[in-house]
């Protein structure tokens, strides 16, 4: 995209809050120069990522009989157990960012997935912090 920051902000302003609430991950992907691309170190192997993702999904299915994204209402409360410090962090982030209940539930489900990827039985503050970062990229547009 060759748009100016003002043009991008104006376009993002057209996205409604309720629409953005329904998107789990908001990730800004900046342009990368050819030099950065060519000089970058090798990333994690695809088969290793696939195996980690499969194991995380298997954990979710064993725990609750469905993937994390499909959790609703009281299921989120039951299966997205937060450590006390993580709960405090989530309260603070949701208040500071002005999240709706839907946004908060989406972030909880993402945090549960991050915890599953880390093979953690309970959601820790670090998992919540990472999930919050995935909902902040378009925060100004909501």
Q: What is the DSSP string of the chain?
A: ----HHHHHHHHTTS-HHHHHT-S---------HHHHHHSPP---HHHHHHHHHHHHHHHHHHHSS-GGG--THHHHHHSPBPHHHHHHHHHHHHHHT--HHHHHHHHHHHHHHHHHTT-SSB-HHHHHHHHHTTTTTGGG-
Residue 76 is assigned to a structural domain of this protein: yes
pLDDT at residue 142, rounded to an integer: 43
Q: How many domains does the chain have?
A: 1
Residue 64 is assigned to a structural domain of this protein: yes
**pTM metric for this prediction:** 0.82
Query: Average pLDDT per run of 10 along the chain, which is 142 residues long?
Result: 84 80 82 93 95 98 97 93 96 93 93 97 97 74 43
Residue 32 is assigned to a structural domain of this protein: yes
Residue 20 is assigned to a structural domain of this protein: yes
Domain range holding 64?
16-141
């Amino acid at each position: 995209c060759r748009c100016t920051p003002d043009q991008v902000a104006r376009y993002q302003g057209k996205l409604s809050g309720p629409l953005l609430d329904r998107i789990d991950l908001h990730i800004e992907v900046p342009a990368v120069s050819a030099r950065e691309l060519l000089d970058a170190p090798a990333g994690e192997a695809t088969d290793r990522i696939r195996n980690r993702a499969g194991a995380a999904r298997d954990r979710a299915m064993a725990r609750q009989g469905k993937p994390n994204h499909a959790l609703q209402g009281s299921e989120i409360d039951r299966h997205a157990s937060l450590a006390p410090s993580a709960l405090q962090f989530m309260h603070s982030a949701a208040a500071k960012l002005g999240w709706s209940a839907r946004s908060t539930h989406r972030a909880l489900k993402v945090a549960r997935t991050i915890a599953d990827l880390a093979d953690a039985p309970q959601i820790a503050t670090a998992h919540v912090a990472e999930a919050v970062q995935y909902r902040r990229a378009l925060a100004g547009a909501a």
